[in-house]
Structure 1
Amino acid sequence: MDVNGAAAIISGGASGLGEATARALAAAGATVVIADVNEERGKALADELGGVFAKTDVRDEAQVQAAVDAAVATGKPLRVVVNSAGIGWATRTVARDGSPHPLEPYKTVIDINLIGTFNLMRIGAAAIAKTEPVDEDGQRGVVINTASVAALEGQTGQIAYSASKGGIVGMTIPAARDLAAIGVRVNTICPGIIDTPIYGQGEMAEEFKKKLVAPVVFPKRMGQAAEFAHLVKALIENDYMNAETIRFDGGIRFQPK
């Protein structure tokens, strides 16, 4: 499917993987809607790319609906939903001092990463369903969800994060089956260690990154956000890719810690 002349909504689009994806899709001719809680950065990026910013907490149904409405209001058919909003958390199920994992941060991670992904997917797909098919197969659009290799082999302390990302992987096949009736494909990407601003800058940050890179098979480096965006675009453009979970990790296999 060609994104040129279409609208695309990207959650978490103001930075990191989402920003790289927004740039790639805008360069391919899409009108991008940056759905993010970071108003300052989101507006600046949307202005730069000729897109639209919608302040969006993916947990909030009304805000997600407003973001999708903003995509529809561009006058371009909404064809693409990319879910890349998410947060991390690291706490053992039972800490070394014997205290249990606090429940609230676990709920928050699930709410943002998993429920937030479903929230945009369902509302976005409903809007895509109202568009005309683009080909003889009846295709109308594509949903790309972002999980993590932690969904498949989470490390010590990643119980909340892995559960949230594993839920996204678990949604892939049933979502693709559900949305086939309206001509929407669904795929999920599981990134490994990707170099984004979350790791900070400076000597300590670089030393930390070197440790993270150690288990990567090849190429022996962190992945780049632009490479992730390239994969998103490829999944959109390849019409036979559906209901798939794709590792994007340089061959890394996480050890317990």
Structure 2
Amino acid sequence: MKIDATLAAVVTGGASGLGLATVKALRAAGAKVAIFDLNPETGERAAAETGSIFCRCDVLSDASVDEAFAKARAEQGQERALVCCAGGGNAIATARRDKQTGEIKIFPSEQFEWVLRLNTVGTFRCITRAAAGMMTLEPLDGERGVLVNTSSAAATEGQMGQAAYSAAKAAIVGMTLTIARDLSREGIRVNTIQPGIFNTPAMSRATPQMLEALGAMVPFPPRLGHADEFASMALEMIRNGYVNGTTVRLDGAIRMQPR
């Protein structure tokens, strides 16, 4: 699919990190972009910085997602590209023994469920709305639209404490081919990026020494990924009409260790 001024795109989680880098890359290529994000302050700032529009969106809510898509389409037309970057996680052991008291604690079910709802269900919620909208369009060069999802290296090599996050991101990988098959007759492609360790605002709490150590874990190049490298992959998945139903690792060949 050609990326130019005729393309309308939506990026969830587009106010920071991988999402913001993707917004910038799409805008640099000429596309119209709507940033879906929960935080109005960072969302409006990102929109002003990139010449995009901001639509407040809580991916945990049907109503919020529907309202965001309605606003985006009213201002820039029906999107033909959706890049899902919204997500998050926690770090809680499945069951652990308190070193001081010996008390045994378990992973709270509601916190496990929240991570799946945010990442997996939130991504799927946006996919369904975007796909339905794309189905109203006439095909361009045989296709109506493209969906790009974000998984994680944790989907296959989750570290200790990442049971919920690993499950949520593995589910995104697992549903990619199925959704691509569901939408194949409509000319809508679906792909997923599985990033390793990237230098994003989520890493801001890490010390320089910790960041250096993390980078040294990557076989080559021995560094953290750059957000614009993620954006480059997302744009290639949009442009390349033969990339469909696949998950691409973007991680410098790292395989995560237990901790």
**TM tier, shorter chain?**
over 0.9
Number of the residue aligned with 2:95: 94
Q: CA deviation at 1:88?
A: 1.8
TM-score (norm 2): 0.95
**Secondary structure of 1:99 counterpart:** strand
Number of the residue aligned with 1:245: 247
Q: Report percent identity of matched pairs.
A: 47
Distance 1:58 1:77 in 2: 19
Unaligned runs of 5+ in 1: none
* Regions of 4+ moved over 2 Å: 47-50, 74-77
Contact 2:35 2:55 survives alignment (8 Å): yes
Asked if 1:225 corresponds to 2:231, the answer is no
- CA RMSD between the two structures: 1.2
**Secondary structure of 2:114 counterpart:** helix
Number of the residue aligned with 1:126: 132
Contact 1:52 1:70 survives alignment (8 Å): no
| Mapping 1:163-202, distance limit 5 Å | 163-200=167-204
Number of the residue aligned with 1:46: 47
Contact 1:33 1:70 survives alignment (8 Å): no
Q: CA deviation at 1:75?
A: 4.1
Unaligned runs of 5+ in 2: 99-103
Candidates 107, 119, 122, aligned match of 1:116: 122
Number of the residue aligned with 1:2: 2
Distance 2:152 2:140 in 1: 31
Number of the residue aligned with 1:71: 72
Distance 2:216 2:161 in 1: 20
Distance 2:82 2:16 in 1: 16
Which range moves more in the overlay, 2-11 or 237-246?
2-11
Equivalent residues, number: 253
Distance 1:143 1:191 in 2: 16
Number of the residue aligned with 1:144: 148
Contact 1:78 1:131 survives alignment (8 Å): no
Asked if 1:29 corresponds to 2:30, the answer is yes
Deviations 1:36-88 (A, max 9, x none): 00101111221232221111010111111122122221343411011100112
Distance 1:59 1:7 in 2: 23
